[in-house]
Amino acid sequence: MNRTQTGSALRTTLITIAATTAVLAFLITRLPQGFSDDLSKIGRGSNIAVLVHNKSTVRSQNLMSLLNQVRPDYAGKVEWLVADIDTESGKAFVREQQVKDSILVFFGPDGTRRGVLEGAVDENGLRMALDDAFSLKP
């Protein structure tokens, strides 16, 4: 007596697809959030940290990676923006603020510039700068 199970291959395929989809969905939710480039948000009631970004420098890429490490801990306290120096709005920001690339510029809720963080920094230095600029308790 030779019995074959019908539907076994279909069931295995569906389970594999469902498992793969679930894993991909989980991984996508774990990716860092993107940075908004809407600089008009400055002065509209939120603490703002603007990354003056130059995608062709390692220093700027490293700073962006460092920001992605600390961003979850500042959710609801700091809004993160980017001023890409290769865009017109980014160039205008650099001119208006008289800053260089690969730095952070901090603004209070009323748009007052609270400071600039430039140079090599580690995670602890970044956290201290954020806490100082926005009067946050660690």
**pTM of the predicted model, to two decimals?**
0.74
At 48, list the tokens.
């703002």
Give the whole-angstrom CA distance, residue 50 versus residue 39. 8
Q: What percent of the chain has pLDDT over 70?
A: 88
Is pLDDT above 70 for 119? yes
| Integer-rounded Cα radius of gyration of the chain | 22
Quick one: average pLDDT of 97-126? Answer: 92
In this predicted structure, what is the pLDDT of residue 136?
A: 85
- CATH homologous superfamily of 39-133: Glutaredoxin (3.40.30.10)
pLDDT digits (tens, 9 = 90+) for 15-61: 888 888 877 766 555 544 578 889 999 999 999 999 999 988 888 88
Domain extent listing, the chain: 39-133
Going by C-alpha positions, the residue among 33, 44, 39 that lies closest to residue 74 is: 33
Residues 101 and 46: their CA atoms lie apart, in Å, by 23
Distances (CA, A) of 109 to 53, 69, 113, 135: 22, 23, 10, 12
